[in-house]
């Protein structure tokens, strides 16, 4: 099968393909980081403080003489964990709630949507900052927090899509045949309504990475010595005038990761909609 044929078959255009490639590469790098790099992001070399890129340290060293490349790779692990973890949490909470609200309507809808609307009255970052202040700086708790704060968006999107699909004739048909609500929701509504949710989820991955980085940057996220791309940016900021690589490398890492997920996300509707397949 040629590349062209694969692209046609799966309705992948260049952008989406690039996005998928980026994400896969970054995930792989994050996974094998311990093996391909110097191995330990904390190793200090006092003879190599704030050295520029080159030689043994392709991306330079920081103020402790730690290899920047190694730290960026390990930082990617944190970013990926944040992305996948938070979105998983948001989906786990948001999909069932949204499905229920959109399909069943009535008082169930009201009970679910009122608190959701209230939560959405706060810009997400504000909620995350306030909660991070309360819960302290543990990566697991932070992922949980980000996931919970972004869950309302998933609820809304899922609900909207479920409402649309729920009114379709074939759903009525299924009900007429005696299928229970649960069965109808899971087997019929969900698969047909999931597409916009997946787009949103993909966008959320990018947002989660940015949120984790922002939190770590202002000091409410991951704590040293754990490498996080956001933390590296904040630590490197004081030396930025003399050692710009300390802020360029981690920043590019964040941009690439988020870009990858966004490109991928843009392509998802095309995957699901045969009418929008790209003409080669």
Give the integer Cα–Cα distance in Å for 65 and 177: 69
Contact status, residue 155 vs residue 98, Cβ threshold 8 Å: yes
* Closest distance to other proteins from the beta carbon of 104 (Å): 21
Residue 90 CB-density burial (10 A; 0-12 exposed, 13-18 middle, 19+ buried): buried
Cβ distance to other proteins smaller for residue 136 or 173: 136
The DSSP letter of residue 61 is B
* Closest distance to other proteins from the beta carbon of 97 (Å): 16
Cβ distance to other proteins smaller for residue 41 or 166: 41
Print the binding letters for residues 208-247 with other proteins: x by CB under 8 A, - otherwise: --x--xx--xxxx--xxx----x--x---xxxxxx-x--x
Structure tokens at 251: 């920043």
CB atoms within 10 A of CB 11: 17
Q: What angle do CA 117, 210, 161 make, to 5 degrees?
A: 40
Q: What angle do CA 81, 83, 89 make, to 5 degrees?
A: 95
Print the binding letters for residues 106-145 with other proteins: x by CB under 8 A, - otherwise: --------xx-xxx-xxxxxxx-xxxxxx--x--------
The tally of CA atoms less than 13 A away on the side-chain side of residue 230 is: 21
Give the integer Cα–Cα distance in Å for 213 and 38: 23
Residue 2 CB-density burial (10 A; 0-12 exposed, 13-18 middle, 19+ buried): exposed
* Closest distance to other proteins from the beta carbon of 187 (Å): 31
Of 251, 269, 271, 278, which one interacts with other proteins (CB under 8 A)? 251
Cβ distance to other proteins smaller for residue 37 or 226: 226
| Closest of 215, 208, 174 to residue 191, by C-alpha | 174
Cβ distance to other proteins smaller for residue 91 or 257: 257
Is residue 173 at the binding interface for other proteins, with CB under 8 A as the rule?
A: no
Is residue 254 at the binding interface for other proteins, with CB under 8 A as the rule?
A: yes
Residues between 66 and 105 that touch other proteins (CB under 8 A): none
Residues between 25 and 64 that touch other proteins (CB under 8 A): 42-44, 46, 49-50, 63-64
Is residue 11 at the binding interface for other proteins, with CB under 8 A as the rule?
A: no
Q: What are phi and psi of 61, to 5 degrees?
A: -130, 165
Q: Under rule CB under 8 A, how many of the chain's residues touch other proteins? A: 57
Q: Which residues in this chain contact other proteins in the complex, by CB under 8 A?
A: 42-44, 46, 49-50, 63-65, 114-115, 117-119, 121-127, 129-134, 137, 206, 210, 213-214, 217-220, 223-225, 230, 233, 237-242, 244, 247-248, 251, 254-255, 258-259, 262-263
């Amino acid at each position: 099968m040629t590349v062209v044929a694969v692209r046609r078959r799966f309705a992948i255009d260049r952008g989406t393909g690039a996005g998928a490639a980026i994400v896969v590469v970054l995930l792989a790098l994050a996974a094998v980081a311990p093996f391909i790099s110097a191995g330990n992001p904390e190793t200090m070399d006092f003879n190599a403080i704030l050295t520029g890129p080159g030689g043994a340290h392709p991306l330079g060293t920081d103020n402790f003489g730690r290899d920047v490349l190694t730290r960026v790779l390990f930082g990617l692990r944190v970013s990926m964990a944040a992305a996948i973890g938070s979105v998983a949490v948001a989906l786990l909470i948001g999909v069932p709630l949204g499905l229920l609200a959109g399909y069943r309507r009535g008082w169930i809808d009201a009970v679910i949507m009122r608190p959701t609307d209230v939560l959405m009255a706060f810009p997400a970052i504000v909620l995350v900052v306030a909660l991070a202040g309360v819960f302290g700086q543990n990566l697991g708790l932070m992922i949980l927090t980000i996931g919970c704060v972004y869950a309302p968006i998933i609820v809304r999107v899922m609900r909207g899509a479920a409402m649309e699909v729920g009114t379709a004739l074939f759903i009525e048909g299924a009900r007429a045949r005696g299928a229970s609500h649960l069965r109808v929701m899971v087997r019929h509504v969900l698969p047909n309504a999931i597409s916009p949710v997946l787009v949103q989820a993909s966008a959320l991955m990018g947002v989660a990475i940015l949120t984790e980085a922002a939190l770590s940057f202002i000091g409410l996220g991951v704590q040293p010595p754990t490498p996080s791309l956001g933390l590296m940016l904040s630590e490197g900021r004081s030396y930025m005038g003399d050692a710009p690589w300390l802020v360029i490398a981690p920043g590019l890492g964040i941009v690439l990761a988020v870009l990858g997920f966004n490109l991928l996300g843009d392509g998802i509707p095309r995957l699901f909609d045969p009418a929008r397949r790209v003409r080669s």
